[in-house]
C-alpha cells in the first residue's frame, strides 16, 4: 500500500488524504512500483493498481471474469445511485457499438445541425473581448448535441430535458462522493437524509415522465422496423433503436433511466475535453494560426464538413491528443472488478472481488515513454504520423488506445462513444477557431494563467470558476 507518510500514519487518515492528494499518492506508487503493483487506499475501498504490462493479457479476459460495468456501479455505490440495473444488460454499450459508430456520418450530420443551433442560442458574439464561462457554454452545447442523437429533434429542444441532463451527473457525483466519506454501515441512514440523493431520484422520475410517452409511441408504431433499417437510419435516434432492441414489452422506466446514464457518460466527459482544448489553445496561442490554416486549406466547406473531412485534420487531432495527455479526466483508468479469482501468467494472483485499475495519468507523463513529457507539444503525434507508413497512420490518432495511452480505457471495454466524441469536439473547435478570437483573462497581477486542474479522489476537473475572453473575429 502506498502513500503513508510514516509507519505510524493511521490508514483512515491516508484514505482521507487520498481525496485531495490522489495525484501525489499515485505518482509515488508509480515511481516505485510501476513494473509490478501497489494498493491505493480510497475512503470507500482499496484499489489494486497494476502495471500496464498486464494489460494485454487482461484485455483478453471476458466481461464475466473482469468487468468494467461492475467497477462503475461499485464506484457509484450501486443501489444508492440507482445504477445496479446497468449490470443486467449492456444495451447502452451495444447501442453505441452497433448503431451510433457504424452510422457515425449520419449522426454527425445531426450533431452539426444542433451545434449550429447552439451557436445561435448559447454563445455570445461580442465585438470586444468579453469574459465567457466556456465550461458552462460547452456543457449546454454538448447536452443539446448528445440529446439530438440520443432522443431526437423534439426532446433535444426541451429545456426541461436539457436541464435534467446537466443536473443528473452533479447530483450523482455529489451523492456518491458524500456517501463514500462515511463507513458503509451508515449508508442506509445517509441515503435517507441526503438531499442530493432525493434530487437524483427526482431526476430519474422526471426522465421517466418525459420519455415514457415517446417510448410508448415508438412501441405502438411497431418500431422494431428500425432494426431492419440499421444501415440507413434517416429518422431513428438511439432511443428508438433501444426500444426496438428491447422488444414490445420493454419497460419504459428502464429505457428512460438507461438514456440518462448514457447522457451522464457522454456530456461532462466531452465538454470537459473540449473546454480543456480551448484553455490549451489560450495558453499556447502559437497553435491557433497553423490550426486555422489546416482547416482552411484542407476543408472545402469547414462549417459543413463530413467525417472524412475531419479525418484529414491531423494537426487538430494531434493537438487534441496532447491536450488529453495534459488533462486526463481520471488518474486511474481503466478500472475493473474481478468476478472470479484470476491468475496471471507470471503467477500474480487477483482474488475475486478485487477492484483493479491502471495508472493512466502517470503513464502519460512518464519520461521513459514520452520525450520531454512536461512540454506541451501540440504537434507531437502529427510528426509521428507523418513518419509512419500509410496503413499505420491511425496508430497515433486521438481515439486509438494502447497500453501507454489509456485516456479512453483499453480493450474490448474501452469507451464505445469515443469516435463520436472526438468528431464532435473537432466540429466544435473548427467553429471556435474560425469564428472567434479567444484568450485567458489577466488576473490582478496582470498575468494570464491557464486554469488549474483539481482532483477529488482519482477524478480530475478544471477549475469551475475558470473563464476565457472571446470576441468575434474582426477580419
| Chain residues in the site for ligand HEM (CB under 6 A) | 68-69, 92-93, 96, 262, 265-266, 269-270, 273, 329, 333-334, 407-410, 413-418, 420-421
Where does residue 427 fall: left (phi above 0), alpha (psi -120 to 50 degrees), or beta otherwise?
A: alpha
- The upper half-sphere exposure of residue 404, i.e. CA atoms within 13 Å in the direction of its Cβ, equals 9
In the complex with ligand HEM, which residue's Cβ is closer, 49 or 96? 96
Grid coordinates representing 34?
510501476
Residue with cell 447552439: 118
No. of H helices and E strands in the chain? Answer: 18, 12
Query: Among 468, 284, 291, 285, which residue's Cα sits nearest to residue 376?
Result: 284
Distance CA 355, CA 328 (A): 20
Residue in 71, 6, 2, 7 with CA at minimum distance from that of residue 38: 2
Residue with Cβ nearer ligand HEM (17 or 92): 92
Quick one: DSSP state of residue 402? B
CA pair distance 90, 412, nearest whole angstrom: 13
Q: Residue-wise over 147-169: b if at least 16 C-beta within 10 A, else e? A: bbbbbbeebbeeeebbebbbebb
CB of 391 to ligand HEM, least distance (A): 25
Q: DSSP states of 142-204 as a string?
A: HHHHHHHHHH-TTGGG-HHHHHHHHHHHHHHHHHHHHHHTS-GGGHHHHHHH-HHHHHHHHHH
CB of 262 to ligand HEM, least distance (A): 6
Nearest distance from residue 95's CB to ligand HEM, in Å? 9
- Report the nearest approach of ligand HEM to the CB of residue 412 (Å): 8
In this structure, the strands spanning 46-50 and 355-357 are: parallel
Q: Is 415 annotated as a binding residue?
A: yes
In the complex, what is the shortest distance from the CB of residue 459 to ligand HEM, in angstroms, rounded to a whole number? 11
Nearer to ligand HEM, 108 or 194 (CB): 108
Q: Are 355 and 74 in contact (CB under 8 A)?
A: yes
Cα separation, 162 vs 206, in Å, equals 12
Residue 105 vs 296, nearer CB to ligand HEM? 105
Closest CB to ligand HEM among residues 14, 207: 207
Nearest distance from C-beta of residue 272 to ligand HEM, angstroms: 7
**Cβ proximity to ligand HEM, 354 vs 413, nearer residue:** 413
Lateral strand order in the sheet of 468-472: 130-132, 468-472, 436-439
Q: Based on CB atoms, which residue is closest to ligand HEM, 350 or 414? A: 414
Rounded to 5 degrees, what are φ and ψ at 338? Answer: -75, 120
User: Which CB sits closer to ligand HEM, 132 or 142?
Assistant: 142
- Residue 194 or 242 having the CB closest to ligand HEM: 242
Give the three-state DSSP class for 331: coil
Q: Which is nearer to ligand HEM, 173 or 407 (CB)?
A: 407
- Do 274 and 320 form a contact (C-beta atoms < 8 A)? no
Q: Give the count of beta carbons closer than 10 Å to the beta carbon of residue 306.
A: 15
CA distance linking residue 327 with residue 312, whole number of Å = 24
Q: 17: number of CA atoms within 13 Å, CB side?
A: 17
Closest approach of Cβ 265 to ligand HEM, in Å? 4
Q: Which is nearer to ligand HEM, 111 or 243 (CB)?
A: 111
Close Cβ partners of 323 (under 8 Å, ≥ 6 residues apart): 273, 276, 277, 280, 378
Smallest gap from residue 400 Cβ to ligand HEM (A): 13
Least separation in angstroms between residue 46's CB and ligand HEM is 19
DSSP 52: G
Least Å distance, CB 114 to ligand HEM, is 14
Which residue numbers belong to the known binding site for heme? 415
Which residue numbers belong to the known binding site? 415
Amino acid at each position: 500500500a502506498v502513500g503513508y507518510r510514516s509507519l505510524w500514519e493511521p490508514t483512515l487518515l491516508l484514505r482521507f488524504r487520498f481525496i485531495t492528494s490522489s495525484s501525489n499518492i499515485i505518482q509515488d506508487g508509480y515511481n516505485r512500483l510501476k513494473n509490478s503493483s501497489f494498493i491505493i487506499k480510497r475512503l470507500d475501498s482499496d484499489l489494486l493498481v497494476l502495471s500496464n504490462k498486464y494489460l494485454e493479457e487482461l484485455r483478453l479476459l471476458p466481461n464475466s471474469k473482469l468487468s468494467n460495468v461492475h467497477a462503475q456501479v461499485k464506484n457509484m455505490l450501486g443501489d444508492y445511485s440507482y445504477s445496479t440495473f446497468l449490470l443486467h444488460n449492456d444495451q447502452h454499450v451495444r447501442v453505441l457499438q452497433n448503431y451510433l459508430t457504424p452510422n457515425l456520418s449520419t449522426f454527425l450530420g445531426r450533431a452539426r445541425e444542433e451545434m449550429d443551433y447552439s451557436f445561435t442560442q448559447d454563445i455570445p458574439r461580442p465585438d470586444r473581448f468579453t469574459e465567457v464561462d466556456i465550461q458552462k457554454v460547452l456543457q449546454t452545447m454538448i447536452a443539446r448535441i448528445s440529446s439530438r442523437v440520443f432522443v431526437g429533434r423534439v426532446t433535444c429542444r426541451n429545456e426541461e430535458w436539457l436541464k435534467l441532463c446537466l443536473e443528473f451527473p452533479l447530483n450523482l457525483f455529489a451523492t456518491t462522493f458524500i456517501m463514500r466519506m462515511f463507513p458503509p454501515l451508515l449508508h442506509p441512514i445517509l441515503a435517507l437524509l441526503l438531499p442530493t440523493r432525493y434530487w437524483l431520484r427526482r431526476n430519474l422520475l422526471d426522465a421517466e415522465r418525459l420519455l415514457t410517452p415517446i417510448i410508448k409511441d415508438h412501441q405502438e408504431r411497431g418500431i422494431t422496423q428500425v432494426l431492419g433499417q440499421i444501415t440507413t437510419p434517416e429518422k431513428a435516434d438511439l432511443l428508438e433503436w433501444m426500444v426496438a432492441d428491447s422488444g414490445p414489452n420493454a419497460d419504459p422506466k428502464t429505457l428512460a433511466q438507461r438514456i440518462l446514464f448514457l447522457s451522464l457518460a457522454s456530456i461532462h466527459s466531452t465538454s470537459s475535453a473540449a473546454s480543456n482544448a480551448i484553455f490549451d489553445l489560450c495558453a499556447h496561442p502559437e497553435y491557433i494560426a497553423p490550426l486555422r490554416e489546416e482547416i482552411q486549406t484542407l476543408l472545402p466547406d469547414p462549417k459543413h464538413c463530413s467525417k472524412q473531412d475531419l479525418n484529414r485534420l491531423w494537426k487538430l487531432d494531434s493537438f487534441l491528443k496532447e491536450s488529453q495527455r495534459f488533462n486526463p479526466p481520471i488518474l486511474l483508468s481503466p478500472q475493473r472488478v474481478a468476478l472470479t479469482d484470476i491468475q496471471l501468467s507470471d503467477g500474480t494472483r487477483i482474488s475475486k472481488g478485487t477492484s483493479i485499475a491502471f495508472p493512466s495519468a502517470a503513464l502519460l507523463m512518464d519520461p521513459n515513454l514520452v520525450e520531454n513529457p512536461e512540454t506541451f507539444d501540440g504537434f507531437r503525434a502529427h510528426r509521428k504520423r507523418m513518419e509512419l507508413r500509410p496503413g499505420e497512420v491511425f496508430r497515433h490518432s486521438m481515439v486509438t488506445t494502447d497500453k501507454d495511452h489509456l485516456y479512453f480505457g483499453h480493450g474490448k471495454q474501452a469507451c464505445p462513444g469515443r469516435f463520436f466524441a472526438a468528431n464532435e469536439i473537432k466540429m466544435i473547435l473548427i467553429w471556435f477557431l474560425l469564428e472567434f478570437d479567444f484568450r485567458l483573462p489577466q488576473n490582478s497581477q496582470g498575468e494570464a494563467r491557464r486554469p488549474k486542474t483539481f482532483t477529488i479522489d482519482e477524478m480530475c476537473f478544471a477549475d469551475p470558476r475558470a473563464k476565457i475572453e472571446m470576441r468575434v473575429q474582426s477580419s
